[in-house]
Amino acid sequence: MLAAGCTVQKEPEPVAGSRADGMVILEYSVYFTERAEVDYAAARDKARRICAGWGYSGAEPLGGSTQICAMRYNCNTVDVRLPYQCTGAGSR
Protein backbone atom coordinates (compact mmCIF):
# COMPACT_ATOMS: atom_id res chain seq x y z
CA MET A 1 0.00 0.00 0.00
CA LEU A 2 1.33 3.42 -0.91
CA ALA A 3 1.73 6.09 1.69
CA ALA A 4 -0.29 9.26 1.23
CA GLY A 5 1.49 11.71 -1.03
CA CYS A 6 3.14 14.80 0.28
CA THR A 7 2.82 18.29 -1.10
CA VAL A 8 6.02 19.64 -2.59
CA GLN A 9 6.87 23.09 -3.89
CA LYS A 10 7.72 23.17 -7.59
CA GLU A 11 9.16 26.06 -9.56
CA PRO A 12 9.17 25.31 -13.29
CA GLU A 13 12.44 25.83 -15.16
CA PRO A 14 12.95 26.71 -18.83
CA VAL A 15 13.64 23.67 -21.02
CA ALA A 16 12.87 24.86 -24.55
CA GLY A 17 11.85 27.84 -26.57
CA SER A 18 11.83 29.58 -29.91
CA ARG A 19 12.71 33.22 -30.34
CA ALA A 20 11.20 33.28 -33.85
CA ASP A 21 7.91 31.78 -32.65
CA GLY A 22 7.92 33.68 -29.36
CA MET A 23 7.41 30.47 -27.37
CA VAL A 24 8.91 29.45 -24.04
CA ILE A 25 8.42 26.02 -22.45
CA LEU A 26 8.90 25.59 -18.70
CA GLU A 27 8.95 22.24 -16.93
CA TYR A 28 8.83 20.63 -13.51
CA SER A 29 8.92 16.97 -12.45
CA VAL A 30 6.59 15.24 -10.03
CA TYR A 31 7.11 11.85 -8.42
CA PHE A 32 3.97 9.69 -8.49
CA THR A 33 3.34 10.01 -4.74
CA GLU A 34 3.77 13.81 -4.69
CA ARG A 35 1.21 16.55 -4.98
CA ALA A 36 2.78 19.55 -6.67
CA GLU A 37 2.19 23.06 -5.45
CA VAL A 38 3.43 25.04 -8.45
CA ASP A 39 4.69 28.61 -8.20
CA TYR A 40 2.96 29.91 -11.33
CA ALA A 41 3.91 33.52 -10.58
CA ALA A 42 7.62 32.63 -10.59
CA ALA A 43 7.12 30.59 -13.77
CA ARG A 44 5.49 33.53 -15.53
CA ASP A 45 8.28 35.85 -14.39
CA LYS A 46 10.88 33.45 -15.84
CA ALA A 47 9.01 33.28 -19.13
CA ARG A 48 8.73 37.10 -19.21
CA ARG A 49 12.47 37.49 -18.61
CA ILE A 50 13.28 35.11 -21.45
CA CYS A 51 10.84 36.86 -23.76
CA ALA A 52 12.23 40.26 -22.76
CA GLY A 53 15.70 39.05 -23.73
CA TRP A 54 14.28 38.33 -27.17
CA GLY A 55 12.75 41.80 -27.48
CA TYR A 56 9.17 40.98 -26.47
CA SER A 57 7.33 42.99 -23.83
CA GLY A 58 5.70 40.13 -21.93
CA ALA A 59 4.59 36.51 -21.76
CA GLU A 60 1.25 34.80 -21.24
CA PRO A 61 0.55 31.17 -20.35
CA LEU A 62 -1.13 29.32 -23.20
CA GLY A 63 -3.14 27.28 -20.74
CA GLY A 64 -2.98 23.60 -20.09
CA SER A 65 0.08 21.46 -19.77
CA THR A 66 1.70 18.44 -21.33
CA GLN A 67 2.57 15.52 -19.07
CA ILE A 68 5.33 13.21 -20.18
CA CYS A 69 6.13 9.92 -18.49
CA ALA A 70 9.76 10.06 -17.40
CA MET A 71 11.12 6.72 -18.57
CA ARG A 72 14.33 7.31 -16.64
CA TYR A 73 12.35 6.43 -13.52
CA ASN A 74 10.12 3.71 -15.01
CA CYS A 75 7.24 6.20 -15.22
CA ASN A 76 7.33 6.87 -11.48
CA THR A 77 7.89 10.51 -12.40
CA VAL A 78 5.99 12.79 -14.74
CA ASP A 79 7.56 15.82 -16.41
CA VAL A 80 4.97 18.58 -16.71
CA ARG A 81 5.56 21.15 -19.45
CA LEU A 82 3.92 24.58 -19.42
CA PRO A 83 3.89 26.63 -22.65
CA TYR A 84 4.12 30.42 -22.67
CA GLN A 85 3.60 32.78 -25.60
CA CYS A 86 5.73 35.92 -25.76
CA THR A 87 3.66 39.06 -26.29
CA GLY A 88 4.38 42.50 -27.64
CA ALA A 89 6.76 43.39 -30.43
CA GLY A 90 9.58 40.91 -30.82
CA SER A 91 12.87 41.26 -32.62
CA ARG A 92 12.24 38.57 -35.22
Read off the pLDDT band of 1 (50, 70, 90).
very low
- 8 Å CB contact between 38 and 10: yes
**Residue 19 domain flag:** yes
Total-model pTM: 0.82
**Residue 92 domain flag:** no
**Residue 26 domain flag:** yes
Instruction: State the CB neighbour count (10 A cutoff) for residue 50.
Output: 19
Helix (H, G, I), strand (E, B) or coil at 4: coil
**Residue 33 domain flag:** yes
pLDDT for the residue 6: 87
Range of the domain at 31: 6-87
Question: Cα separation of 58 and 50, whole Å?
Answer: 9
**Residue 1 domain flag:** no
Note the pLDDT tens digit of each residue in 20-78. Answer: 999 999 999 988 888 889 999 999 999 999 999 999 999 999 988 888 887 665 778 88
State yes or no: pLDDT of 3 exceeds 70: no
Instruction: Choose between 91 and 6: higher pLDDT.
Output: 6
Helix (H) or strand (E) holding 79: strand 77-87
Q: Which residues pair with 38 in a beta bridge?
A: 10
- Counting the structural domains of the chain, the total is 1
